[in-house]
Amino acid sequence: MRRQPGEDMSYLELVTLPSAPFWARRHTRATLHAWQQQPETIETAELLVSEITTNAITASGHGDPQRISVTLRLQPGRIIIEVFDTSPSPPVLADTGPDAETGRGLILIQALSKEWGHYYPPAGGKVVYSVLSTPGTTTTTIERTAAGTGPRHGATT
C-alpha cells in the first residue's frame, strides 16, 4: 500500500465479525478527528464506512471469519474510503421495495458519495471505495489510476 505525495493515510485490519462495523466507525472517527475534519464530514464518513464494511462482511459469507480492511486517504479536497474483502463478487445496486428490510446500503453510499465504485487488486478479492468531498477546499482530480496505484474511478456498478 503506497501513500501518494500530499496524502495522509490510515489503515485498519479487521475480521468479518459482527463487531467489525463498530470498530471501523470508531477508527474512522478517531482518524478524521486527528486530520481536523469537520464534524459533518466525520459523521458522513462513519456512515459510509459502516455501510461498506457491513457489505464486506455479507459478501464474505457465513463460514470462517475472513480478513477485511479499511483504508482512509486524505487528499487535497477529498477523503477516499476503501474497504477490502476477499469476495470477487462486485457490489450491485438492489431494486428494493418500500417494505424491504435490506438492500439500501449501496443506495445510501451512492447518495452520500461524490463518487463510488470498486476495483480488483492484483492479489485477489475486491476493494469498494467511496470518495467524500471535504468542505472549504477546492477538489482537484488526482488521477492515480493511470499509474496503477489507485481506485478505478467511475466504476459505479
pLDDT in tens, 95-107: 666 655 555 678 8
Number of residues written out for the chain: 157
Residue 154 lies in a domain: no
Residue 100 lies in a domain: yes
CA torsion, ordered 109, 77, 7, 132, to nearest 10 deg = -10
pTM of the model: 0.81
Residue 2 lies in a domain: no
Tell me if residue 60 falls in helix, strand or coil.
coil
Please report the pLDDT score of residue 117 as a whole number. 95
Please report the pLDDT score of residue 120 as a whole number. 97
State the total domains in the chain: 1
Segments of the chain with pLDDT less than 50: 137-157
Please report the pLDDT score of residue 142 as a whole number. 38
Residue 125 lies in a domain: yes
What order of strands is seen across the sheet that includes strand 67-75? 8-15, 67-75, 78-85, 126-133, 115-119
Residue 99 lies in a domain: yes
What CA–CA distance (Å, rounded) separates 85 from 103? 18
Residue with cell 489507485: 150
CA torsion, ordered 73, 74, 77, 78, to nearest 10 deg = 30
Please report the pLDDT score of residue 101 as a whole number. 53
Please report the pLDDT score of residue 50 as a whole number. 96
Residue 1 lies in a domain: no
CATH number at residue 134: 3.30.565.10
Range of the domain at 101: 8-147
109 in Cβ contact with 48 (< 8 Å): yes
What CA–CA distance (Å, rounded) separates 10 from 3? 10
Residue 3 lies in a domain: no
96 in Cβ contact with 104 (< 8 Å): yes
Residue 142 lies in a domain: yes
